[in-house]
Structure formats: C-alpha cells, structure tokens
Structure 1
Amino acid sequence: MVPALHFRYEHTAHHTHTNLIGQDSELIPMPATFPAYFWYLSGLPYWASNGLGILRRSIGKLTGEEIGFIPTAWRRRVIWESRVLLVLYAAAGLAIATGAYALLFYWVIPLLLGQPVMRFIRMTEHVGCAHERDPARNTRSTRVAWPWQFLAWNMNFHGEHHLSPLVPFHALPALNRLLQGQIPVRKGYIGGHREIWGSLRSGKGPVC
C-alpha cells in the first residue's frame, strides 16, 4: 500500500534527516504511554495514514512536508500515482466483494497480520533514540538469529545502513565487522523494545 514513487522521496528525506523532529518524513514519535505504544504496534495508524494520504494526493493535495521532499518536476507524477493506486484498490475491493477471495486470503489478510510484526521491527530502529545526526545515537542496530536476519535482508544492521546507505544489503554484516563496535548493536528486537519500555516507565529522554 506504499506508493513507490512517493516512498522513494519520502525515504530519501528519512535518510537525509534521520530522526530529526520536523525534518524526518518517516519519524515515529516516542509513544507517551503504553496504550499509545500498543496502538502503534497494531498497525492501524499506519493503514489510516497511508490510506488517507493516497486519497488526499489523488485530489491533488500535497502537505507542506511532501512539498519539501518531492522535487517540483515529480509532484504531478506522485499525484497521478495515487490516482492509479486508488483505482486499482477500488477494483481489488470490488473483486473481493464479488467472490475473488484469493485476493483476501493471499493479499489483504497477510498484510493485516504482517503489519504489527513490521511495526514491532520498525520501532526498534529509531524510536527512543536521540534526535541528532549521529547514526550511533539516532539509530539502533540489533543482533538477531539468522532466520530473522535473512528475512530482514540484513536490515537489523540498521545503524550501518544509515551510516552508508549505498552499501548493498548483503554487505552490511561485513560493514558491521569493519566498524568494530562504532555502531552499538543491541541484542535482538526485544532488546530494543526493552529500551523503549524503560523510557516509557521512567519518562526519561533518548536511550540510544
């Protein structure tokens, strides 16, 4: 449900201004409470934000933030991308309503079930980290079992990815070894969430 062209520029802004308030287009705010933490993990805010974003752009409206990271020459294409996606999603919804249940069971339901897992992983990357430009402070890397690492395309080495975004995914473990601890590595995704939980309990600032 992420428009590819829009994502290209949004994610570029994320890498340019990682975890900087008001500049990082993908910044996930530190939840103020545990209910807010679990609300984000549900994936519902993600679906609402993306769905409303597609609708808004389909009628030609870009936010100030989007105007900031989408080059002028590409804004019209981003708007048309949303319009095309809106038509495709409407067609998919109609197909499901008229009996194309394969779309429901092999696309919609996996998306809904997978998104909380994705949110769980995404939160460990930057939430609760410092709002500054140092990748060792604004991003977490995590040490995970090889099946997770394989499925994540080595993106558990997220600090390394942000330090050198042009390094291909398969070379991130080697970059981690080369840096010899310059990017702190947490123990597992649970380790990252423990830091977030601790910050929620204490009300203290960044823990990265």
Structure 2
Amino acid sequence: MSHDHAAAVLPVPTRLDYSLTGENAARAIERGLAEAEWYQCPVPRETMRKLLERRDGPAIRDTLLWFTLILGSAYATWALWGSWWAILPYAFYAVLYGSTSDSRWHEAGHGTAFKTDWMNNALYEIASFMVMRESTLWRWSHTRHHSDTIIVGRDPEIAVPRPPDLQGLVLAFFNLGVYPVYFGKLFRHALGRISADEKTFIPESEFPKIYRKARISVAIYLVVIAFALATHSALPLLYVGLANLFGSWLMVVYGLTQHAGLAENVLDHRLNCRTVYMNFFHRYLYWNMNYHVEHHMFPLVPYHNLPKLHEAVKADCPTPYPSLLAAWREIIPATLRQVRDPAYHVKRVLPSPPSRAADLPANRGALAKPDPEGWLEICAAADLGPADVIRFDHGKKTYALYRDADFVLYATDGICTHGNTHLADGLVKGKIIECPKHNGRFNL
C-alpha cells in the first residue's frame, strides 16, 4: 500500500464541516458529488444474475446458530452468576450481542440476507435494538451512506471525520460515545421531534414510524430497569443495555477497516473502501462484510455470495489486505497522521483498466429504427429470461425492459428516482424492481 500527501477531490481545511446542512453539503452538490455515478467493475451479465440470487437457507442456518450461541451464553452466565466463572460466558454473550448484531443489522437492512422479506424485516428490527440503532432512521441513513459514500456533507455515517477525535475513537471500543447520542435521539424521537440533519435524508412520511418505534424502545428499557429493581439483580441490565458497554469492541475492530484513513469525496469505492481477508470464524461473525469494496459496488449481492463476487472483480481492484492486523497496521498510523495533517489519506493503487467482457450489459436499441407501426426491435426474446431486466437506450433517453417470472413484459424509465443509477442493474423480484444502489423498490 502506498501513502502520499495528495488531497481528496475537495480541499481539506483544518476542520471540515461534516454536518448535512452546512457548507460542504451544498459544495458536494455543486461539484457533482451528490447522487453521482460511481465506478463499477465489469462483471459478465450472467455471472451477476447468479450472484444476485437470494436464498433463505444460508441466513436461516447462520441466524439459528447465532441465536443459539447468544441464548446459550446468556444461560451459562445466569447459571454461573455469583462466581467469577460467569465472566467468561458473559464476555462471549456481550460480543455476540453488542458487536455481531451489527452485521446482522446491516445485511437484513439491505433486504439481501434472506429471500423472504419478513425474515429480513424481523432480524433487522431485533438487531437494530441490540446494536442501539433506531431501525427506521438508520435504514434511511444507510441508504444515504450508499448513495454518497464518504462524501463530506452528504454521508451521515462517516466514522472517522478529519481531524480524527482520538479520545472518541478509544471510547468507541466501549460504546461510550454511542450511549448519550443514542438515548438522546431516542428520547427526542419519543417526544416527536426530528433534527434538521435527519430531515435531509428521511422522508416526512416516515416520521410517525420513527416516533412509534422510539416509544416502544423506551418502554422496553423501562421494563428491563423495573425487572432489575424488582429482582434485585443486575443481570437484566447486563443482558440489555450494558452488553454494549462490554461487547462493542469487536464491532469497532471490524468496522473501522471499512473506510478509516481512506479518501473522501471520490466516486470510486476502490479508493474509499477496504477488502480484508479474514478466516472463516471472523467471516461468520462479520457476515462477509470484510469484502467491503465488493459490497459497496454491488450492494444487492447477498452476503453468502460476496466471496464469489470478490473472485469475479479482484483483478480490477486494489490488492486486498491479507489480514485484520495488516489493515490496522495501516489505519493506526494514517489516523494519527490525520490529527496533524487532515488532508492526508491512504492512496490505494488501482490496477490497469480491464477489457470489457463480451457479455456485459449493452446499451441496446440506440440505433434501432421503428417499424411502420412504431415498434422497436430491442433484443432477441431469448436474451431476456424470466425475472430479468436489460437496458436499452434510444435517442437521448434510457429505459429498462423487464420480464417477470410470469413472462409478462414491462418497460420503464431507466434511471432510479433516487439518483444516477440505472435500474437495469437491479433485481426483479415478483412485480417489483429493486434499485442496485439504494435497495429502493418500485412497482413494474
């Protein structure tokens, strides 16, 4: 990995305004960095269709094992309570509860972990509570994170703003910075108030849902506190609430490898994301989010297919980090350097541009002329299978042509309403097209 002093696309002053309503929010829009078109590695169309396939099996297996480990360690803690031996199962429980819930929250939030929607939604709500994230707010926050990844003034999920707050980063290992922010927002939302920053990425129609869920969460915490007082035991609080104090450290170890120390304000995920090789144990706990370049480039690919996606695109990506330790050996000095030099970032070395695969999606129909009845020949019928979509351009317009599982044909405008993303790269699910960038869904 090479390092240099080059600034990102936008000049970095001593202290940047990372708010979503400040000067850098307007500047990002002016410079074309908001809802922009991002680089994508070339992947053959048939390969991508296989990678997008969703299944219930892998996530059911992994989730049942996960809940078994959580409940088993919770029971062992209760059984050993009163002796020092209880520390061992509780430490395991706290990490499962406070750290590994993050990756379950993430994948279920994208709607890709399971094929069945209600399973994704159920796991998402449970994991959101465990990781101390309000589910509706963070669903929209993460949508913006994928639209404008590490774009200053646009991305609400930049974990290490420049210059880095070293004390805050240390406290993050114990979740100490999260508690006041999370509960402050939770009580504010329970009282029916939304901040100015939140209004920039959450539709007003979602506000009642945020208020309702915040009140439910507050009620759960009050019940836990009441139960602890009634039983004269700290165990209920250790199970719910304090587990994040003792068990969030692994989430930070994993999570900061995603973007910390890398470029801001670039439109190439290969420059602001890391892919880090991990062993099977870590990949299970992290649900393959170590393949983070691949995930950001193609967020519709389920976690269980990310290793295959990595193999398909690795020739067009920077060299992956060989281990967690290797990634942290870069992150720590880069972060320390940014304290005194906020313009500094790690510059990832990109490979030579690849040749485009022959079966990549084509811009069909651009030169087609209508027949006497006004119809255009776009493609052979065999080129568009069931539950599939292709792109075609004509004149100055671009479209998406779909065939659903019942072999019914549809055509729509090609560009997603959220931003500069073509729906032909999305996933047909029933009579819905899912946006490849935001996971937004639209009726055909």
Q: Is TM > 0.5 for Structure 1 vs Structure 2?
A: yes
| Residue 173 to residue 116, structure 1, CA distance change in 2 (3 Å) | same
Task: Give the superposition deviation at 1:32.
Answer: 3.0
Q: Which letter maps to 1:145?
A: N
- For residues 113 and 83 of structure 1, the distance between their equivalents in structure 2, rounded to whole angstroms, comes to 25
Once the 2 structures are TM-superposed, how far is the Cα of residue 147 of structure 1 from its aligned partner?
0.4
The equivalent position to 2:283 in structure 1, one of 149, 162, 166, is 149
* TM superposition shift of 1:105: 3.9
Does structure 1 residue 115 correspond to structure 2 residue 221? no
Deviations 1:167-193 (A, max 9, x none): 000000000000024333212222222
Q: 8 Å contact 2:257–2:274 — kept in the other structure?
A: yes
2:190 aligned partner, one-letter code: S
> RMSD value over aligned CA atoms?
2.0
Which segments of structure 1 move beyond 6 Å, counting only runs of 4 or more?
A: none
Partners of 1:122 and 1:20 in 2: CA distance: 18
Could you tell me which residue of structure 2 aligns to residue 128 of structure 1? Answer: 261
Classify the secondary structure of the residue corresponding to 2:335: helix
Is this contact kept in 1: 2:275–2:291, CA < 8 A?
Answer: yes
Partner deviation per Cα, 1:103-135 (whole Å, 9 max, x = no partner):
234334433222121122111111111112311
Give per-residue Cα distances to partners, 1:16-58, cap 9 Å, x unaligned: 1111111111111246364443233332112222111111212
Partner Cα distance (1:3, 1:140) in 2: 26
Whose helix proportion is higher, 1 or 2? 1
- Does residue 103 in structure 1 map to residue 225 in structure 2? no
Does the CA-based 8 Å contact 1:56-1:62 persist in structure 2? yes
Map 1:22-61 → 2, pairs under 5 A: 22-30=153-161, 32=164, 34-61=166-193
3-state DSSP of counterpart to 2:316:
coil
Q: Letter of the aligned partner of 2:193 in structure 1?
A: K
Match of 1:74 among 194, 198, 206: 206
Quick check: 2:277–2:321 contact (8 Å CA) kept in 1? yes
Q: Distance in 1 between matches of 2:139 and 2:205?
A: 14
**Structure showing greater Rg:** 2
Change (3 A) 1:55 1:109: closer
Task: Tell which deviates more after alignment, 166-175 or 71-80.
Answer: 71-80
| Equivalent-residue separation in structure 2 for 1:84 and 1:35 (angstroms) | 32
Residue of structure 2 equivalent to 1:206: 345
Q: Secondary structure of 1:26's match?
A: coil
Report the Cα offset of residue 144 of structure 1: 0.8
User: 1:190 is matched with which residue?
Assistant: 325
Shifted more, 143-152 versus 47-56: the winner is 47-56
Aligned partner of residue 44 in structure 1, secondary structure: coil
Query: Do the aligned partners of 1:33 and 1:200 also contact (CA within 8 Å) in 2?
Result: no
Going from structure 1 to structure 2, the CA distance change for 1:199 and 1:103 (only over 3 Å counts) comes to same
Q: Determine if contact 1:40/1:119 at 8 Å carries over to the other structure.
A: yes
**Preserved CA contact (<8 Å) 2:174 2:247:** no
2:304 maps to what in 1?
170
Aligned 1:13-28 pairs, distance under 5 A: 13-28=144-159
Which position in structure 2 is the counterpart of 1:159?
Answer: 293
- Alignment partners' CA distance in 1, 2:198 and 2:226: 30
TM-score (norm 1): 0.90
TM-score by length of 2: 0.44
Does the 8 Å contact 2:260/2:335 carry over to 1? no
Note closer, same or farther for the CA distance 1:150–1:85 as it changes in structure 2 (3 Å cut): same
Q: Distance in 2 between matches of 1:68 and 1:86?
A: 25
Pair 1:85 & 2:217 matched: yes
Conserved? CA contact 2:174–2:244, under 8 Å: no
What is the aligned length?
208
Looking at structure 1, the residues matched to 335 and 137 of structure 2 have their Cα atoms a distance apart, in angstroms, of: 32
Q: Which position in structure 2 is the counterpart of 1:3?
A: 134
Structure 1: tracts of 5 or more residues without a match: none
Alpha-carbon distance between aligned partners in 1 of 2:272 and 2:165, rounded to the nearest angstrom: 21
Structure with higher strand content: 2
**Whole-Å Cα distance in 2 between the matches of residues 191 and 48 of structure 1?**
33
Structure 1 residues 34 and 8: alpha-carbon distance in aligned structure 2, compared to 1, 3 A threshold: closer
Distance in 2 between the 1:87 and 1:136 partners? Answer: 43
> Where does residue 140 of structure 1 map in the other structure?
274
